[in-house]
Structure 1
Amino acid sequence: MTGTIQNRETFLANIAKQLGRSPKAELPRPTWQYQPQDGVLKDATKDELVEVLVKQCKNIHTDIVMTNTAKLPQDLQAVIDNYGGQSVITWQDKRFQDYGLSALMTTQWQQANIEHYEWNPQQPEENIRQAEKANIGITISEITLAESGTAVLFSSQERGRSVSFLPEKSIILIPKSTIVPRMTQAARWISEKVRNGENIASCINFITGPSNSADIEMILIVGVHGPIKATYIVIEDQ
């Protein structure tokens, strides 16, 4: 149900009057002398950003695999085998088909006795049950931050956030074209989509490797409240 706003302008004008202000004050955007957010990795190439990402993955306890679309099914299966196979949950996402993974997710997994569940917006309770029991969750990054090793996932009806939270292991496919220096570029990219009137996810998750916490005596514990292992698979797509 969509609500409506009544008498907004009158209400705001009355508040401004009581405060002795103009109803719509236009404030100039500040110009800072130093803008380090734009300088970090400013001129880095995609290959250099990949190198930064690879190094950062060591710090965040995340495995990283470099591949291309031709080798992706083989390399993805290798990671799944390393994680023990068993059961996999994925988004309902056309990009899996575009990456040539349809045969892997159907015929090959059936032959290997690997259960596969695809997120179904018509079955919310079953989605959670399947995500809880799945050994591996597979998702796709929309934009990836090299500096911090962060994958940005856009949730939707077909792309449940539980796929990256509830399974014991997480595999995130990272198109090389999505890799940017840091949060600065990600925030601008999202902001631009909003200004252009594009529909974006109501929930955007910034995921940096497996779950971890250092709240207790500053001792890092991995796998406290989510996946205990994570692998990024960087796909050469340019």
Structure 2
Amino acid sequence: MLKSSRERILERIRTGLAGTRPFLEAEATRAPHTPPPFVHPITHDDLAHQFAAELTKLQGYPHLCNDDESALEAIAGIIDRHEAREVITWDLAAINLPGLDEMLRQRGITRLDGQIAGEGEQRTALLQAHERAPVCISGVDAAIAESATLALHSGGGRARMASLLAPVFIAVVRRKQLVRGLGEAIERIKQNYSDVFRDASALTLITGPSRTADIELTLTLGVHGPREIHVVLIG
């Protein structure tokens, strides 16, 4: 019985894989599996200033705040500029910024938790309700200074919507959450969560505003995520 073109192609692939598998497995075993703690050289003596410099290059907005009070003022200013009446946030305990709830309440701002449950019309209605919010706010698990990347471990009370859906994203970062490179960030997250994805839907890495380029290399911000990134770095 003659074999189809598809069967002949698959057979050649299987034969090729069988011949190279021992070599590939040996190489995989021999290769290091621990990422380096960092890649780029230090450009600033202080990680906060390095993060701020890299974020500015990406057209993001760093806010270096000495304390919680000045951080709340920075967030309030961003919310007021965008005339937000609704914001999507993580659970406030997970953001860990005392006074945030009171500041939102004083401005008459409704807080949405970013949790989209249900199916069909119920899910559609929840999405439409969240899409009205112009600002989202979350904490982070690590902030990588050499690339101005934010690492967010999502899960219960830490909805992905709070960093991806609204056109303006505010990340609240403590100085102790700053790390130099990606490898260091991954190690820290592994230490904080024995199984990174046991109760999480994703580990999200955010480096600047959403960028999309078409075939003519015309760059547009905010097509597939926030077009404006603010990082409020406390301490």
- Which range, TM-score by smaller chain? 0.7 to 0.9
For structure 1, the 5+ residue unaligned runs are 1-18
How many residue pairs end up in the alignment? 207
Match of 1:144 in 2: 143
Structure 2 CA distance for partners of 1:74 and 1:193, relative to 1, 3 Å: closer
C-alpha distance in structure 1 between counterparts of 2:164 and 2:149, whole Å? 15
Query: Greater shift after overlay, 141-150 or 156-165?
Result: 156-165
C-alpha distance in structure 2 between counterparts of 1:48 and 1:64, whole Å? 14
Residue identity in the other structure for 1:187: I
C-alpha distance in structure 2 between counterparts of 1:31 and 1:185, whole Å? 16
C-alpha distance in structure 1 between counterparts of 2:156 and 2:116, whole Å? 5
**Paired residue for 1:50, among 48, 51, 58?**
48
1:121/1:157 contact within 8 Å kept: no
Identity fraction in percent: 25
Structure 2 CA distance for partners of 1:120 and 1:177, relative to 1, 3 Å: same
CA RMSD of aligned residues (A): 3.4
Match of 2:110 in 1: 115
C-alpha distance in structure 2 between counterparts of 1:171 and 1:109, whole Å? 17
2:60/2:209 contact within 8 Å kept: yes
Shift of 1:144: 0.7
**Paired residue for 2:57, among 45, 56, 59?**
59
1:144/1:179 contact within 8 Å kept: yes
Structure 2 CA distance for partners of 1:31 and 1:207, relative to 1, 3 Å: closer
C-alpha distance in structure 2 between counterparts of 1:41 and 1:142, whole Å? 23
C-alpha distance in structure 1 between counterparts of 2:38 and 2:207, whole Å? 21
Structure 2 CA distance for partners of 1:127 and 1:90, relative to 1, 3 Å: farther
Residue identity in the other structure for 2:160: R
Listed as ranges, the matches of 1:1-238 within 5 Å are 30=31, 38=38, 40-41=40-41, 48-67=46-65, 68-96=67-95, 98-106=97-105, 108-110=106-108, 114-120=109-115, 125=123, 127-193=126-192, 196=194, 199=198, 201-236=200-235
C-alpha distance in structure 1 between counterparts of 2:36 and 2:141, whole Å? 24
Residue identity in the other structure for 1:147: E
Structure 2 CA distance for partners of 1:98 and 1:168, relative to 1, 3 Å: closer
1:92/1:118 contact within 8 Å kept: yes
1:96/1:102 contact within 8 Å kept: no
C-alpha distance in structure 1 between counterparts of 2:135 and 2:70, whole Å? 20
2:151/2:206 contact within 8 Å kept: yes
For structure 2, the 5+ residue unaligned runs are 1-18
C-alpha distance in structure 2 between counterparts of 1:204 and 1:137, whole Å? 17
Shift of 1:202: 3.5
